[in-house]
Structures are given as structure tokens and as C-alpha cells.
């Protein structure tokens, strides 16, 4: 198990990410708010979590939406999955958007996203003049069918 050290930015503390079941890949993350935030349809807001992390080198935290919020209210994360790099030490904020048809209120302590701790493979980028051929070739979006 990899240890992710967490510092709370709020003077009154914060909620640590929490795995809700034994088999969960994502740990639920809560909003850390001094007052409720209303997210209007189509609106995007940065929602603070009150969490700063020391992620082990060679890992990242991916910020992902919660399926229940998306299915029931149309609330999801932009830039999904968002990447928190191992050398970032600032407060983690979640970019939420309301794709629903009604205002959605976020209260302090509401579960707003999930963190997935994932290993990172570093690529060695090398400039070449010619790439090897494949069956797909340069076929882009939709080139392999619907």
C-alpha cells in the first residue's frame, strides 16, 4: 500500500479521502466550504477540498467524477481524469460542471469526486523522420467504426 501524506488547509480540519467499499478503486473526496456553493446549469466552478498531498514519486492522483452525481444530477468533473502530479503541494480543487437542467447546491462535506492513485510511466520522447506502419495508419476519430 502506498502512503499519501495529506495536510488539511482548513483550520477546523477536513475530510480525508475515503474508500467506501473493500473493492473500491476510487476514494471519495469531499468539498471543504465555508458556505454552500450553487452550481447553475452550464456553470463551471472550482470546488476546494482543503487537501494538500504528498504523492509518492512515480504515482499520480487522478480526479474522477462520482457516478451517482453524474447520473442523478448531471454533475461531473471537467478535465477528467484530472492529474495531480507527485511534485504538486498546493490545495487540490475539483473542477465541477453542471450539465443538468436545475441548480445544484454543494454543501461543506458533500462527496464531489473521487481520487484514484495510479502509477505513472515516464516516456522517453525521441524525434524520428519515419514511423512504422500499422493497419490503422493515420486513421483518426471514427476510423475504426462507430
Which tens digits make up the pLDDT trace of 106-126?
999 999 999 999 999 999 999
User: In whole angstroms, what is the distance from residue 72 CA to residue 67 CA?
Assistant: 8
pLDDT higher than threshold 90 for residue 72: yes
User: In whole angstroms, what is the distance from residue 17 CA to residue 7 CA?
Assistant: 12
Q: What is the pLDDT of residue 26?
A: 97
Residue range 32-59, pLDDT digits in tens: 999 999 999 999 999 999 999 999 999 9
**1: confidence class by pLDDT, cuts 50, 70, 90:** low
Instruction: Tell me if 106 sits within 8 A of 47, measured CB to CB.
Output: yes
CA-angle at 8, arms to 43 and 19, nearest 5° = 75
User: In whole angstroms, what is the distance from residue 99 CA to residue 75 CA?
Assistant: 6
**3: confidence class by pLDDT, cuts 50, 70, 90:** very high
Question: What size, in residues, is the chain?
Answer: 146
* Cut 0.95: pTM above it: no
Going along the chain, which residue ranges are E strands? 5-8, 27-30, 37-39, 44-54, 59-64, 75-77, 82-84, 92-98, 104-106, 111-119
Q: Which residue has the higher pLDDT, 146 or 66?
A: 66
User: In whole angstroms, what is the distance from residue 82 CA to residue 26 CA?
Assistant: 13
Amino acid at each position: 500500500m502506498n502512503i499519501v501524506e495529506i495536510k488539511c488547509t482548513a483550520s477546523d480540519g477536513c475530510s480525508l479521502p475515503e474508500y467506501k467499499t473493500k473493492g473500491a478503486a476510487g476514494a471519495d473526496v469531499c468539498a471543504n466550504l465555508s458556505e454552500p456553493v450553487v452550481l447553475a446549469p452550464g456553470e463551471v466552478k472550482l470546488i476546494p477540498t482543503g487537501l494538500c498531498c504528498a504523492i509518492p514519486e512515480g504515482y499520480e492522483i487522478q480526479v474522477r467524477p462520482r457516478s451517482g452525481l453524474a447520473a442523478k444530477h448531471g454533475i461531473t468533473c471537467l478535465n477528467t481524469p484530472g492529474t495531480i502530479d507527485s511534485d504538486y503541494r498546493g490545495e487540490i480543487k475539483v473542477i465541477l460542471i453542471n450539465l443538468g437542467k436545475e441548480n445544484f447546491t454543494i454543501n461543506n462535506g458533500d462527496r464531489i469526486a473521487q481520487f484514484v492513485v495510479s502509477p505513472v510511466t515516464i516516456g522517453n520522447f525521441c524525434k524520428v523522420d519515419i514511423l512504422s506502419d500499422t493497419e490503422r495508419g493515420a486513421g483518426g476519430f471514427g476510423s475504426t467504426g462507430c
